[in-house]
């Protein structure tokens, strides 16, 4: 096997750089045979910082023996112009798309540095923080109080991903997401816990492959009945039976990321 | 005032659409005078879905009397080709950048639909879930156990944003983030809580403008001493004095989003 090709990639932004990094990453995953060293330069907002970035990039290029690749979303044209002087291959998102978009919309862009995540005093932002607090206070069936405020209530047997998914829904979308465990007592009784019946339209279920559940539970309580494969099979089958009977929509979380699960829930419950 | 211009924007992706939406959003915020109706079409992965999307887009264009705008990151060229047939203004990220990037890298891209958020069984993904569990178990000074495993320990007076920031660090970056409140007893004693001294290099402080802290605390406990402005001034001054004395890096969270705070912490503690 020859050595893999190595290239250094810089993500440069006047904000956090999270968006340009996500975007660059989605392109880079298309080149599996290349090893990318990734460096983020966030909050670049002065001429001095832009010049420092250029020095950093050029030094890296010398060390690599290959010019680096830059992904940038710099809005300020004078800063962007400095970064473009680096000896690098530069993909500049605003340069590419702003002019065609201005032409389509028939207006000039404001060229202001965006606050794409919202400022701490915006109402959207407050809503997100409130949603996080709500979600923490309604994790794992801690309380039935205030369920009428919930945007969504997740139900699943223990260790299907209810908590991370709830937190993601709150953090990313500002949704108040409660979650309740389905436990053997619920299956014995053959119906939903009473408090949940009243909020049926907000319910969404998660399920999982029993083998995967067994593996996850073993990591927490090795050798327990809770983690044993026959018990995992039983709980999953009972939970799916209950959800089917009660008309609760659900999805299998086994191979899905929390982003994928959350986006699917949004679509299914028509939450946006 | 004339009516604002209204345009409909579609975000189309074979994945969650979160990246293309963030990206499109950063461009759209440059056009403040236009009102954008935003529609996300995630998980588009069949010819039928692509055709349905085209119908949806064309119908929307008819209703608007203006062609919609499409931002897309579809990797599959045959699906992208169908979407391009819609009567819309289409900005297609892969179409724009993949060919120049292939030329620069000297290899062909794999044109595979990406799993940019990681699959549920990848080690990165497991690390994120573990980090979320760790962070929940180490919120608000619940326990001193296992602090040696923490990547970062946030300290601040109550209601500076420790919890949302810790959760974001865990969820987005897979970092184990503990957090501890600074309380009047700590100030009386004139030194850091003993458990934290041993982990000084991992500490990062948050502070806040006393007026803003007062406002946030009033929403929770109106009229209390806890929320009173003089008390907020006292706690913030004491916390800053302590952090200065102990050499703890900190930032003012008053006007920053959790994304901005988290990215800054990463930079300051050189966590990536």
Q: Say whether pLDDT at A118 is over 90.
A: no
Answer whether A23's CB lies under 8 Å from B269's CB: no
Of all residues in chain A, the one with the smallest CA distance to B73 is A26
Average pLDDT over residues A175-194: 91
Q: What is the distance between the alpha carbons of residues B113 and A271, in angstroms, rounded to a whole number?
A: 26
Residue B235: per-residue pLDDT: 96
Average pLDDT over residues B53-64: 97
pLDDT in tens, B221-246: 999 999 999 999 999 999 999 999 99
Q: Tell me which of B153 and A116 has the higher pLDDT.
A: B153
Look up the pTM and report it: 0.91
Of all residues in chain A, the one with the smallest CA distance to B108 is A31
Residue A10's pLDDT band (cuts 50, 70, 90): very high
Contacts of B140 in chain A (CB under 8 A): none
Of the candidates B180, B181, B172, the residue with the CA atom closest to the CA atom of residue B132: B172
Q: Say whether pLDDT at B213 is over 90.
A: yes
Residue A167: per-residue pLDDT: 97
Q: How far is A184 from chain B (nearest CA, A)?
A: 24
Average pLDDT over residues A16-20: 92
Answer whether B203's CB lies under 8 Å from A210's CB: no
Q: What is the mean pLDDT of chain B?
A: 92
- Cross-chain CB nearest to A97 (options B27, B101, B125): B27
- Cross-chain CB nearest to A101 (options B27, B121, B262): B27
Residue A113: per-residue pLDDT: 65
List the alpha helices (DSSP H) in chain B: 18-28, 47-64, 77-84, 93-105, 123-137, 162-173, 184-189, 194-197, 210-220, 229-246, 258-268
Q: Say whether pLDDT at B1 is over 80.
A: no
Q: How far is A196 from chain B (nearest CA, A)?
A: 25
Q: How far is B113 from chain A (nearest CA, A)?
A: 8
Tokens 């109106």 correspond to what residue? B222
Q: Do A257 and B32 touch (CB under 8 A)?
A: no
Residue B119: per-residue pLDDT: 57
Q: Which of B8, B16, B267 should one mutate to test binding to chain A, selecting the residue with the greatest count of A CBs within 10 A? A: B16
pLDDT in tens, B179-211: 999 998 899 988 888 889 999 999 999 999 999
pLDDT in tens, B77-135: 899 999 999 999 999 998 899 999 999 999 888 876 655 555 556 788 889 999 999 99
- Cross-chain CB nearest to B30 (options A7, A104, A112): A112
With 0-12 CB in 10 A as exposed, 13-18 as middle and 19+ as buried, what is B69? Answer: buried
Q: Say whether pLDDT at A116 is over 90.
A: no
What does the block give as tokens for B223?
A: 């009229």
Mean pLDDT check: name the lowest of A84-88, A250-254, B42-46, B114-118: B114-118
End-to-end CA distance of chain A: 49
CA atoms within 13 A on the CB side of B117: 20
Q: Say whether pLDDT at A119 is over 80.
A: no
Residue B33's pLDDT band (cuts 50, 70, 90): confident
Residue A105: per-residue pLDDT: 93
3-state secondary structure labels for all residues of chain A = CCCCEEEEEEEECCCCCHHHHHHHHHHHCCCCCEEEEEEEECCCCCHHHHHHHHHHHHHHHHHHCCCCEEEECCCCHHHHHHHHCCCCEEEEHHHHHHHHHHHHHCCCCCCCCCCCCCCCCCHHHHHHHHHHHHHHHCHHHCCCCCHHHCCEEEEECCCCCHHHHHHHHHHHHCCCEEEEECCHHHHHHCCCCHHHHCCHHHEEEEECCHHHHHHHHHHHCCCCCCCCHHHHHHHHHHHHHHHHHHCCCEEECCCCCHHHHHHHHHHHCCCC
Q: What is the mean pLDDT of chain A?
A: 92
Average pLDDT over residues A243-269: 94
Of all residues in chain B, the one with the smallest CA distance to A17 is B263
Q: Which of A10, A21, A30 should one mutate to test binding to chain B, selecting the residue with the greatest count of B CBs within 10 A? A: A30
Work out the percent of chain A whose per-residue pLDDT is above 70: 95
pLDDT in tens, A42-75: 999 999 999 999 999 999 999 999 999 999 999 8
**Residues contacting residue A241 through CB under 8 Å, at least 6 positions apart:** none
Residue B160: per-residue pLDDT: 94
- Cross-chain CB nearest to A257 (options B19, B27, B120): B120
pLDDT in tens, A132-181: 999 999 999 999 899 999 999 999 999 999 999 999 999 999 999 999 99
The ipTM, to two decimals, is 0.90
Q: Do A257 and B163 touch (CB under 8 A)?
A: no
Residue A58: per-residue pLDDT: 98
With 0-12 CB in 10 A as exposed, 13-18 as middle and 19+ as buried, what is A43? Answer: middle
Answer whether B70's CB lies under 8 Å from B57's CB: yes
Residue A271, sorted as left (phi over 0), alpha (psi -120 to 50) or beta, turns out to be alpha
Of all residues in chain A, the one with the smallest CA distance to B74 is A26
Residue A240: per-residue pLDDT: 96
Q: Say whether pLDDT at A120 is over 80.
A: no
């Amino acid at each position: 096997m020859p050595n893999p090709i190595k290239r250094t990639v810089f993500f440069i932004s006047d904000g956090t750089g999270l968006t340009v990094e996500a975007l660059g990453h989605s392109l880079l995953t298309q080149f599996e045979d290349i090893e990318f060293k990734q460096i983020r330069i966030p909050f670049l907002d002065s001429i001095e910082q832009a010049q420092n970035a250029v020095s950093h990039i050029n030094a890296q290029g010398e060390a690599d023996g290959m010019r680096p690749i830059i992904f940038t979303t710099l809005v300020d044209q004078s800063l962007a112009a400095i970064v473009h002087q680096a000896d690098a291959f530069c993909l500049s998102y605003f340069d590419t798309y702003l002019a065609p978009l201005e032409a389509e919309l028939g207006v000039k862009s404001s060229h202001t540095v965006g606050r794409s995540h919202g400022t701490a005093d915006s109402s959207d932002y407050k809503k997100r923080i409130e949603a996080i607090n709500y979600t923490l206070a309604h994790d794992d069936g801690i309380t039935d109080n205030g369920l009428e405020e919930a945007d969504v209530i997740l139900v699943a047997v223990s260790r299907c991903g209810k908590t991370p998914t709830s937190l993601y829904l709150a953090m990313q979308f500002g949704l108040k997401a409660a979650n309740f465990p389905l436990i053997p007592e619920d299956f014995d009784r053959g119906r939903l816990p009473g408090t949940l019946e009243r909020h049926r339209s907000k319910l969404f279920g998660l399920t999982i492959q029993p083998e995967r559940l067994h593996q996850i539970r073993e990591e927490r309580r090795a050798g327990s009945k809770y983690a044993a494969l026959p018990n995992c099979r039983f709980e999953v089958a009972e939970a799916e039976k209950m959800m089917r009977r009660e008309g609760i929509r659900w999805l299998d979380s086994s191979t899905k990321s929390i982003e994928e699960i959350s986006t699917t829930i949004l679509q299914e419950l028509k939450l946006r």
